[in-house]
Structure 1
């Protein structure tokens, strides 16, 4: 064991960090796309009866945001109990 002690919010794998970045990026793109869509819909409807300027809006492919929890990998679910003091530990890392 490495003996490193830290709070639970500091234990992230690279895979979990990549997943979190992907979720945040998906949310941001979905939010911006929704705001732009609302703005252009309003602009298109306000110029509908104008003879000189007419703006039409056709939305493209919508990126949907799905908040899927990252989850815990199987190798992080290893629990060990000390044979002497009966203290239970959770081990971070792969099983050997």
Structure 2
């Protein structure tokens, strides 16, 4: 179905750049974005076991700073068990 919408120039520019970065069409980007919006609005809140899970599906990590990593204050289990994350040292 065809439709026409008016978008601010800056948003359309960002959308085009993102579509190019992801090697998809602008149409595919809009469809995926709308599907994600509808899915997140209707699904129950997800309980995340790891702080970085909230970053899943948010796109490229190229624009993230170290403070965006989700590890700030994290004290859960470490995926690499030979190196502890915020775990007390064993004597």
Q: TM-score range by the shorter chain?
A: under 0.3
Computing the radius of gyration over CA atoms, which structure comes out larger, 1 or 2? 1
Higher relative contact order (CA 8 A, sep 6+): 1
Normalising by the residue count of structure 2, what TM-score does the alignment of the two structures yield?
0.23
Normalising by the residue count of structure 1, what TM-score does the alignment of the two structures yield?
0.22
